[in-house]
Amino acid sequence: MAPPSVLRCLTLLMAVCCGRAAAQEIIQHDAGCIHMPIIHSTNVGHFSEKRGVQLQLANRSDVAYYAQLSIGTPPQPVYVQLDTGSFELWVNPDCTKVSGGDAVFCERAGKYDSAKSTTSESLGTTKTLRYGIGSANISYVTDTITLMGSTTALKTVQFGVASSSEDTFSGILGIGYGMNKTTRYLNFVDQLAAQNATRVKAYTLSLGTKDAQEGVIVFGGVDTSKFSGALTKLPVIPAESSPDKVPRFWVDMESISISPPGAANRVYENSKMPVFLDSGSTMTLLPPNLTNAIALDFGVASPDSNGFFRLDCALTKVNGTVDFKFNGVTVKVPYKELIREVPGDTPACFLGITPSTTFTLLGDTFLRSAYGT
């Protein structure tokens, strides 16, 4: 994703600064910088025509940020989940393999029909993509991808069209490392730079607050309205030294601590570890002992039958933070941003951290507070 000279740095402070993007609109302020809005699926104002049901905790399509792409000639609008933890773009999940609100969202997120595009070309190759949850069998094609509201149209972009899938409710726009790192072709981010849509092969991601339910990704630069002061560079762990040996945005976390209102900051034991930054995961995944210790400080001794820690929703009004410390910077995540709220006749609240023995990652419950408002 970054140029060779900075492949080992997650570079946020860049020479290219691009101003402010208006909500609900892609803006290209100058050659080489594109602002694309990203929308949380619970944003009723945006998705009111696409969502006919209130999603429940058992559904997963209420926990992702989506970008709209227009694929083909003439353009066909498709919403895809924005994912820093994967590397490829694909569309058309099998909506019959999910149920409830996930199936409704899947059907209404849009489909791409290569037969209706005059610029579509089949490459005759296939692949199976596997994720932490779900998988997709895809056939590769190339086509034009237009960024809505912009004059930018990427030609002959390679992506996958699913022939079948399991437990997936939307296509995915993987914006992790691409060519010669994780793929043998130019992925979406690679193509933005290769076709001179961006001046540099980098981006910044602002998810916005939980209440805002929308954010912006800036391809090729930094939205200077999203921060004050200086940004910090954080080294990325090389793939060969990372826990899963995969080129991801792995970084070293020094510690996690909690700052309750009116009390001193308290550091959790055994919270120094590598973690990767994953916008495709709403929840933050940490080792069970650490997750249990944090949950206990929120007043919950054990998870429910689904593995979630149900909290008192009054905690969203408490002025406390959970603090994630890295090299030279501490990200303070307010209780409200860390807690997942599920609306309903009786609203339910859950800790936005779940136990995992497989991955340690910082998802949207962390990333919303790391950059941008």
Query: Could you give the maximum distance between any two Cα atoms of the chain, in Å?
Result: 64
Q: Does residue 68 contact residue 78 with C-beta atoms inside 8 Å?
A: yes
Encoding tokens for residue 301? 């001794």
DSSP letter assigned to residue 25: S
Antiparallel, parallel or unpaired: β 310-311 and 348-351: antiparallel
Chain-centroid distance of CA 24 in Å reads 18
Residues designated as active site = 83, 278
Angstrom CA distances, 292 to 129, 239, 301, 313, 336, stand at 32, 29, 7, 18, 19
b/e per residue 26-65 (b: at least 16 CB within 10 A): bbbbeebbbbbbbbbbbbeebbeeebeeebebebbbbbbb
**CA end-to-end distance (rounded Å), the chain:** 24
